[in-house]
Every structure is written in C-alpha cells, then in structure tokens.
C-alpha cells in the first residue's frame, strides 16, 4: 500500500528539485565533486539530468602530479594523493572544456593555483560565456605561505578570494578545507572577499601503512581521505558554515544516497557534490536525483530547496553550542 501511495503522489505532483546558488538556478542540487568525474561518465549517466557539471581542477602551470601509488582503499573510504596533474590552461581550454559544454547542464570549472595572483589570472581567463561558475579550490598549497593551504587561515582566504574577485564578475564558488580549525571565520572571510558560494569541503588529511612492507600505501606518504568515513565531519562543517554566512553552501563528503544528500541540506547545504560514490558506481548521481524526488513525494514536500537549514534543533542547546564554538574559535 505504501508503494502505491508513493506512486500516486509521484503521478499527481512532480516535486520541484531546483535550487538557486547566487544568480544560477540548477534543475536539482546534485553535481560531481571536482576530480571525481570525467566526460566518459556520459556512457553510464545522462549528464543532462544533473544540476551542474564540475570539471577536474586545472592549474595554470603544468604539473606532473604526485608519485604513484596515488590511491589506497581504506575502511569506509579511500585515500588519494593525485597532485592535480595539469597540462596548463591552453590545453584545458582546447581539449578538456569543450566536450562538457555540449550538454544542457551548467558547467563549473575548478581552478587550483599556488599564489593569489596566479589564481586571479587563471580565473580571468576562464571567465567565458560557456562557463556558468568558477570554483576556486583554495584548499591547495600556497607558495606565499610556505605551502600551507590558502583556506587554513581567514587572512590568506580573504587575500586569495579578493584577488580573484577583482579579476572576474563570474559566479565564484570557493572550496574550503576540512583541515582548518576556524571554519566559521574562514567561511566569513571568503564571503566578505566576494564569494558567491562556499563548497564545504574537501578531503581530510590522512595516512595508511602496509603492515607487511612497512611502507606508506601512498607514494606521497599522506593524502586526502574521502568517502562515508568523513561524512559526519563534513555535515558538522556545513552546519557551522551555514550559521556563519548568508551565501549558499555546497556540501561534500561521503554522499552516496539521497538520504545523505538530504542530511547535508538539513544541515544547511543548498546543493551537494558527489565524489567517491561515483568511483564505485558511475550512475550514483542519477540514483541520488531519483531518490530525492522519491523523498519529496514520500514526505509531501513541494520544493526540495525548503530543506536547506531545516534541521530541528533545541534552542537552548543551540545557544550553548554556539557559545562554545565562538570560544573555541
């Protein structure tokens, strides 16, 4: 009977899955995480069904990437240390970007750079009509701060984002790192500097050792942990950012199902990015879109966007938690 009722709801009223991120309206909140998606996914998934297409990060300078092995499986997740290999902007504009622009889905380019000025120059070149938004991955190393990621401190976050903002009028999404401590202050710094949205977040720094060879499982020794293992951390970070800024947040970290996506939205996300799950199942994002429609039908929700920040919290506990978060930075 429950299934029949759900089918009747679907037939009588199609839920509105659209969300707004600044000036952009997406058909639904589901998109790939940068670096976890390639044009070949079109063989397993209709790319016109997604909210946006986020391409793997490009760096202005050519990069060979990190030594192998670059990926290691871990319980409930994976470690990676790819190093963002890049053939530079010319090759990216000529070979990588065009195939993505042939779909009826907004294209988001992701940029990685090692100085604020290099970030700004790259984003200016990528401010093209066929590009819907630019994602600045400021969780990458900053050569002007001894290799510490831009997004580790509010000051370096503000410097990088403001440099980019001066050189482009394109919608600007800023990707933060979960490895930072003062995440609310860093999110506010990105907003104050001109970010249109925050992507929260990236992988968590980790390490694994082969107990038989006694060698690290990654060629670069340490790498980024992703997958279900980091989801509770990522949900907490999204919630903290949602309480700190007024701009939209795109949540990322361990999303495998529609319920995972809903959890991020309840915590404060407007949209979500899917990473590791697509390695296991290239059609995962399509299943999540279908699951979101079914969730809305089951709970009689007309607009999915209404879920953003709708977690039910005890007011007294929330005030206590906020005071603790402010005191601890």
- Comparing CA positions, the residue from 37, 13, 57 lying closest to residue 105 is 37
Rounded Cα distance between 237 and 181, Å, is: 10
Active site residue 296: no
CA dihedral of 130, 132, 135, 136, whole degrees rounded to 10: 70
Q: Give binding residues for substrate as ranges.
A: 56, 80-84, 137, 202-203
The answer to whether 47 and 289 are in contact (CB under 8 A) is: no
- Give residues with Cβ within 8 angstroms of 148, minimum separation 6: 141, 142, 156
- Give residues with Cβ within 8 angstroms of 118, minimum separation 6: 60, 61
Rounded Cα distance between 70 and 232, Å, is: 25
Token duo for residue 236: 């907490």
Residue in 140, 241, 252, 296 annotated catalytic? 140
Q: Which residue has the tokens 């470690």?
A: 79
Phi, psi of 265 (to 5 degrees): -65, -40
Q: Give binding residues for FMN as ranges.
A: 34, 56-57, 137, 175, 227, 253-254, 275-276
Q: Which residue has the tokens 């997740």?
A: 77
Q: Give binding residues as ranges.
A: 34, 56-57, 80-84, 137, 175, 202-203, 227, 253-254, 275-276
- Comparing CA positions, the residue from 284, 304, 318, 309 lying closest to residue 18 is 304
Q: Give the active site residues.
A: 140
């Amino acid at each position: 009977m429950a299934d029949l009722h759900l089918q009747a709801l679907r037939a009588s009223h199609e839920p509105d899955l659209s969300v707004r991120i600044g000036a952009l309206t997406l058909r639904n909140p589901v998109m790939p995480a940068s670096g976890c998606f390639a044009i070949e996914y079109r063989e397993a998934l209709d790319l016109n069904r997604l909210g946006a297409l986020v391409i793997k990060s490009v760096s202005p300078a050519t990069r060979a990437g990190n030594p192998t092995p670059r990926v290691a499986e871990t319980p409930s997740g994976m470690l990676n240390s790819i190093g963002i290999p890049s053939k530079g902007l010319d090759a990216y504009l000529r070979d990588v970007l065009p195939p993505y622009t042939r779909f009826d889905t907004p294209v988001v380019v992701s940029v990685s750079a090692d100085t604020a000025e290099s970030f700004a120059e790259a984003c200016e070149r990528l401010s093209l009509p066929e590009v819907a938004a630019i994602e600045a991955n400021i969780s990458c190393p900053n050569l002007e701060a001894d290799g510490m990621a831009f997004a580790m401190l509010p000051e370096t976050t503000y410097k990088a984002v403001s440099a980019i903002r001066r050189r482009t009028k394109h919608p600007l999404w800023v990707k933060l790192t979960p490895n930072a401590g003062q995440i609310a202050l860093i999110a506010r710094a990105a907003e104050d500097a001109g970010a249109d949205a925050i992507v929260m977040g990236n992988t968590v720094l980790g390490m694994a050792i082969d107990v038989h060879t006694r060698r690290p499982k990654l060629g670069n020794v340490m790498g980024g942990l992703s997958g279900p293992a980091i989801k509770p951390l990522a949900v907490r970070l999204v919630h903290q950012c949602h309480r700190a800024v007024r701009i939209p947040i795109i949540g990322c970290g361990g999303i495998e199902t529609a319920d995972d996506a809903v959890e991020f939205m309840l915590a404060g996300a407007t949209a979500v990015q899917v990473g590791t799950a697509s390695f296991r199942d290239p059609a995962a994002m399509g299943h999540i879109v279908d699951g979101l429609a079914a969730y809305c039908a089951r709970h009689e929700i007309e607009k999915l966007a209404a879920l953003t920040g709708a977690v039910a919290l005890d007011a007294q506990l929330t005030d206590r938690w906020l005071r603790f978060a402010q005191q601890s930075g």
